[in-house]
Amino acid sequence: MNGRAQSLVAGLLSLLFLGVFLGIWHLATVPKKQAEAPVDEYSKLLGKGAKKSEGFPTLSQIGEAAFTQLKDPLYDRGANDKGIGIQLGWSLMRVGAGYALAILFAVPLGFLIGMSPVLYKALNPFIQLLKPISPLAWMPLALYTIKDSSISGIFVIFICSVWPMLINTAFGVASVRRDWLNVARTLEATPWRKAFEVILPAAAPTILTGMRISIGIAWLVIVAAEMLVGGTGIGYFVWNEWNNLNLTNVIFAILVIGVVGMVLDFLIGRLQAAVTYVE
């Protein structure tokens, strides 16, 4: 099978899987017979007969929710009720800020650590200890010390993005081929040129791998962080809809989260491809 045929078959299989998945969903949630009109006051109070989400949402309900949300993504009906576009904007802003801070911190520090085996050994225990801590565990501490929930959210993104970048940068820098460094040495390249024209491009694919892991984690964490801290963002949207036990909107939000996560990964992936070299 050549490459093109393979892609074609894979594509068809993907569609098939999707069809089977949606089919099972549809069959499992097929609307039960419309409940009879309420006969007494009691059933009326339970919302029988009225539009009420019962059980797992059907496909058409999801479609309807998606249509309503996407038709007007930027509506603003008060501090606690904003369109999905605005919520996504908030989340992306927080992720962007925390992630950018993490880059500013992790890449230079990773550089130093990667250049100095002593520093690497000295800092490694701390990194290993701090790395596995769930970023959300930092939240109470952040709230207490930073005293601002939005900045605490950004801090949590920072702290979860920083480790993969730091470790990968240090590793990438430490494993730059000695030959290239020797070339730079024999050419009496300035430390500046050595850092930016040799080590950085040499380590870039590894650094970008770290950044790609980080963006994935950051996007995972922002949803949880916003559910915890609330106010704005896609995580808050999920929490607010959960609070209303509105699974339809929760599922819609999950899909949106997935798509945005995929796009973020794709963008960093493109960047990664751009700096990757073949030896």
Partner 1 sequence: MMSFLQVQDLAKRYGGTTVFERVNFTMERGEFVCIIGHSGCGKTTILNILAGLDRATEGAVVMDNREVAGPSLERGVVFQGHALMPWLSAMNNIAFAVRSRWPDWNRIQVQTHCQKFIDLVGLTGAEHKKPAMLSGGMKQRVGIARAFAIQPKMLLLDEPFGALDALTRGTIQDELLRICEATNQTVFMITHDVDEAILLADRILLMSNGPGACLAEAVINPLAKPRDRHSIHHDAQYYGVRNHIVDFLVNRSKRYQSGELRSARSPSAKIVNLR
Partner 2 sequence: MSAMKCICGAHHSQEEHDLNDRRLLEAAVMRALFPNVARRRKFLASVGASTAGAAVSTFFPFGALEAMAQEKGKPEKPDLKIGFIPITCATPLIMADPLGFYREQGLKVTLNKTAGWALIRDKMLNKEHDASHFLSPMPLAISMGLGSAQQPMRVMTVQNINGQAITLHAKHKDKRDPKQWKGFKFAVPFDYSMHNFLLRYYVAEAGLDPDTDIQIRVTPPPEMVANLRAGNIDGFLGPDPFNQRAVYDEVGFIHMLSKELWNGHPCCAFGTSEAFIKENPNTFAALYRSVLTAARMAREAKNRPLIAKVISPPNYLNQPETVVEQVLTGTFADGLGNVQKVPDRADFDPFPWQSMAVWILTQMKRWGYVKGDVNYKQIAEQVFLVTDAKKYMAQLEMKAPASAYAKVKVMGKEFDPSQPEKYLASFAVRKDV
> Contact residues for partner 2 (CB under 8 A)?
41-42, 45-47, 50, 52, 77-81, 140, 143-144, 147-149, 227-231, 236, 239-245
Residue 220 · residue 254 · CB < 8 Å? no
Give, as ranges, the residues between 200 and 219 that touch partner 1 (CB under 8 A): 201-202, 204
Tokens of 225: 């962080």
CB of 240 to partner 2, least distance (A): 6
Q: Does 183 bind partner 1 (CB under 8 A)?
A: yes
Select the residue interacting with partner 1 from 188, 192, 243, 270 (CB under 8 A): 188
Q: Does 278 bind partner 1 (CB under 8 A)?
A: yes
Going from the C-alpha of 104 to that of each of 64, 108, 221, 279, the distances in angstroms are: 42, 7, 20, 28
Our CB check for partner 1 shows the closer of 40 and 188 to be 188
Helical pair 149-174 and 84-115, crossing angle rounded to 10 deg: 40
Residue 115 · residue 191 · CB < 8 Å? no
Q: Does 193 bind partner 1 (CB under 8 A)?
A: yes
CA dist 121 and 238 (Å) reads: 42
Helices (H), 230-246: 234-243
CB of 243 to partner 1, least distance (A): 51
- Residues lying near partner 1 in the complex (CB under 8 A): 177, 179-180, 182-183, 185-189, 193, 197-198, 201-202, 204, 275, 277-279
